[in-house]
Amino acid sequence: MELDAKIPSGPIHEKWDRHRFDMKLVNPANKRKFDVIVVGSGLAGASASATLAELGYNVKCFCFQDSPRRAHSIAAQGGINAAKNYQNDGDSVFRLFYDTVKGGDFRSREANVHRLAQVSVNIIDQAVAQGVPFAREYSGLLDNRSFGGAQVSRTFYARGQTGQQLLLGAYQALARQIGTGKVRMFPRTEMLDIVVIDGQARGIITRDLVTGKLERHAGDAVVLATGGYSNVFYLSTNAKGCNVTAVWRAARRGALFANPCYTQIHPTCIPASGDYQSKLTLMSESLRNDGRIWVPQKPGDDRVAGQIPEGERDYYLERRYPAFGNLVPRDVASRNAKNMVDEKRGVGPTKIGVYLDFKDAIGRDGKNAIEARYGNLFEMYERITGEDPYSAPMRIYPAPHYTMGGLWVDYNLMTNIPGLYAIGEANFSDHGANRLGASALMQGLADGYFVLPYTIGDHLARHLGEGLVSTDDAAFQAAEEGVHRRTERLLGIDGSRTVDSFHRELGRLCWENCGMSRNRAGLEAAVARIPELKEEFENDVKVLGSAESFNQSLEKAGRLEDFFELAELMCYDALERRESCGGHFREEHQTEDGEALRDDENFQYVAAWEFKGQGETPTLHKEPLEFEYVKPSQRSYK
């Protein structure tokens, strides 16, 4: 299979402009002849649906929540980057581009990243015009902060609720189009297959989650904006419903899945407190600006924090990385915490955690200053743990948070299946092996507002006059029957274990073998064990209720089945990538000081996997990466 990324020619800062000129256009009167299916109503899906409808296309938008406003994007806290340079501190489109390529550890596509940095400025304009209440200074102008170790202040934020406010902006634009009838919204509807006819994406099969009814929807193009797959680990910071099903169904129909092993583990989350734990809560990274991270020097030290004298504490990040200290990047902070726990120096009742201590900051700046900065976070911590972080140090531990991997897309955000697009966290595009803080919101909205609405026209223009495929077509019928059989099969197993108990087991397996650090033996064991576990699931899961009603266990069972297959591919990819880069740390490939060691000579490519069927070895396709503008270098935080 030939992987053509379709990167336009010319100097990097002219590529997008040239491309926009070269692409075919659909004239305004013809736009209404096209129906576009958008699966997902998060930042990417809502912004794309609204914009496509404004342009005149007929849009059908789907989400599994009861309202599009509840998509997982709502939970993003910290902020959104844009190269506005409002602070006059030396930011520019090129600097944001540079930081993103470097932050991604030289595993992303330069052309895509540059375009992202270019359109970032338009996102802020658009959001403000919609009424998104970003933080402001007393001058009435927009405020910015520095985020995730960036040397410039380019992050726009809305208290600790940036995702909520941006999503409400996109949701409002979507609601306006639903009101005009240009978008038909299908909430509580799950996409369960995609229909490919003569190699083109032509529609989807959905299940109405209230009535259980299966439905066929034809479209001239299908856009997947269905988010990331962190929930393969069961415990993550993602919303409970986040899943890989839409993307995986596409992979099963031939769409390539790129870099599945690039997952991001966020260092500052509240540790799990027991076996009943259902999800993990992120605490803003900004806490590391004032908190000091430490563990006892002695393994197995059972004393409470206050009784461990200063001389017996190990501020391990400050010790190992004098220049960056507690502000090292996410992956470095996460891995070091894991090492402490592995050395039996973890803290708290489960011993799986490290301290984040504000005592010195409170001593220096006063309790009031700390409260003003982090009051809401401290309150959230206390609400969840029942402990007061003003008087005793917080306990934190890393948790799966974001997935850089996703469907392979070309420069137009189209997958290798013509007519099938992937946007937002669902694609693999812009973050390489590691995403910078505040860049996911930027990418989702860039894709949805400013990239896809242009590039999709180029595809549709070539299909003018073809008309929609009939949903009576044999391919629709076969796909619907497939979904029906699968549902019946899951309900018919009638075993002894719950869906969640299997999901927890899969999650633990992935976390232990394909989590913060990975090695060959562990990955091989996981690749062998995952299909066995899936088989146990298929023989022993218990899903009650019927297919023709609201049935949350059935929803979960279908999603978990797809997670099993994805998990296997993720471990394959991690096994195959015999280097360390960004969020992917292979223990065999590290420097003498234990830092990630890239192998540009052999692994400077995108790994795009072709699923060959259950139990078959997937086929690897490589898209080589070239770095013309940002020369690969080794990261150092010493």
Partner 1 sequence: MKLTLNVWRQDGPGDSGRMVRYEMPDVNPDMSFLEMLDLLNEGLIEKGEEPVSFDHDCREGICGACGVMIDGRAHGPLPGTTTCQLHMRHYKDGDELTIEPWRSAAFPVVKDLVVDRAAFDRIIEAGGYVSVNTGSAPDANLTPVPKDVADNAFDAATCIGCGACVAQCPNGAAQLFTSAKVSHLGLLPQGQTERWRRVRHMVATMEDEAFGSCTNFTECEAACPKGISIDFIAQMNRDFVRARFRDPEADD
Ligand X SMILES: Cc1cc2nc3c(=O)[nH]c(=O)nc-3n(C[C@H](O)[C@H](O)[C@H](O)COP(=O)(O)OP(=O)(O)OC[C@H]3O[C@@H](n4cnc5c(N)ncnc54)[C@H](O)[C@@H]3O)c2cc1C
The residues in 530-569 that bind ligand X, with binding defined as CB under 6 A, are none
Token couple for 608: 């795009």
**CB closer to partner 1, 381 vs 572:** 381
Closest CB 221 distance from ligand X, rounded Å: 16
Residue type, 244: V
The correct pick among 127, 287, 328, 608 for binding partner 1 (CB under 8 A) is 127
Q: Is 68 in the site for partner 1 (CB under 8 A)?
A: yes
Window 245-284: contact mask with partner 1 (x via CB under 8 A):
----------------------------xx-xxxx-x---
**CB closer to ligand X, 93 vs 340:** 93
The site partner of 492 among partner 1, ligand X, none (C-beta below 5 to 8 Å per kind) is none
Distance of alpha carbon 181 from the chain centroid: 31
Q: Is 401 in the site for ligand X (CB under 6 A)?
A: yes
Q: Is 116 in the site for ligand X (CB under 6 A)?
A: no
Residue type, 139: S
Token couple for 27: 């004239």
Measured distance CA(282)–CA(280) in Å, rounded: 7
Measured distance CA(547)–CA(545) in Å, rounded: 7
**CB closer to partner 1, 131 vs 322:** 131
Closest CB 265 distance from ligand X, rounded Å: 12
Do 393 and 293 form a contact (C-beta atoms < 8 A)? Answer: no
The site partner of 171 among ligand X, partner 1, none (C-beta below 5 to 8 Å per kind) is partner 1
**Quick one: which segment of 34-42, 317-325, 354-362, 523-531 binds ligand X (CB under 6 A)?**
34-42
The correct pick among 201, 225, 460, 543 for binding ligand X (CB under 6 A) is 225
Q: Closest Cα partner for 211 from 195, 189, 240?
A: 189
**Neighbour-count burial for 281-294, b at 16+ CB within 10 Å, e otherwise:** ebbbbbbbebbbbb
Q: Is 282 in the site for ligand X (CB under 6 A)?
A: yes
Q: Is 238 in the site for ligand X (CB under 6 A)?
A: yes
The correct pick among 14, 17, 66, 89 for binding partner 1 (CB under 8 A) is 66
Measured distance CA(103)–CA(433) in Å, rounded: 8
Measured distance CA(230)–CA(280) in Å, rounded: 11
Closest CB 562 distance from partner 1, rounded Å: 18
**CB closer to partner 1, 93 vs 101:** 93
Token couple for 383: 């609400």
Query: Cα–Cα distances in Å, from 491 out to 133, 369, 450, 484, 553?
Result: 47, 56, 43, 11, 10
What number of helices (H) and strands (E) belong to the chain? 18, 19
Q: For tokens 């699923």, what's the residue? A: 611
Window 495-514: contact mask with partner 1 (x via CB under 8 A):
-x-x-xx-------------
Q: For residues 430-489, which are near ligand X according to CB under 6 A? A: 438-441, 444
Q: What is the dihedral angle through the alpha carbons of 444, 448, 450, 453, rounded to the nearest 10 degrees?
A: 150
**CB closer to partner 1, 163 vs 515:** 163
- Please provide the distance, in angstroms rounded to a whole number, between the alpha carbons at the two ends of the chain: 43
Active-site choice (330, 345, 395, 635): 330
**CB closer to ligand X, 8 vs 163:** 163
The dihedrals phi and psi of 315, each to the nearest 5 degrees, come to -80, 80
**CB closer to ligand X, 64 vs 262:** 64
Measured distance CA(411)–CA(111) in Å, rounded: 8
DSSP string, 98-164: HHHHHHTTS-S-HHHHHHHHHHHHHHHHHHHHHT----B-TTSSBP-B--TT-SS--EE--TT-HHH
Q: How many residues bind ligand X (CB under 6 A)?
A: 45
Closest CB 236 distance from ligand X, rounded Å: 7
Sign of CA dihedral 632, 446, 24, 416: positive
DSSP string, 596-615: B---HHHH-EEEEEE--STT
383 is catalytic: no
The correct pick among 245, 264, 429, 487 for binding ligand X (CB under 6 A) is 245
Measured distance CA(322)–CA(234) in Å, rounded: 35
Q: For residues 69-88, which are near ligand X according to CB under 6 A? A: 71-73, 75-80
CA-atom Rg of the chain in angstroms: 24
**CB closer to partner 1, 426 vs 574:** 426
Q: For residues 149-188, which are near partner 1 according to CB under 8 A? A: 158-159, 161, 164-165, 168, 171-173, 175-176, 178-179, 185, 187
Q: Which positions are annotated as active-site residues?
A: 330
Q: Where does this chain bind ligand X (CB under 6 A)?
A: 39-45, 62-65, 71-73, 75-80, 162-163, 190-191, 225-228, 237-238, 242-243, 245-246, 282, 401-402, 424-426, 438-441, 444
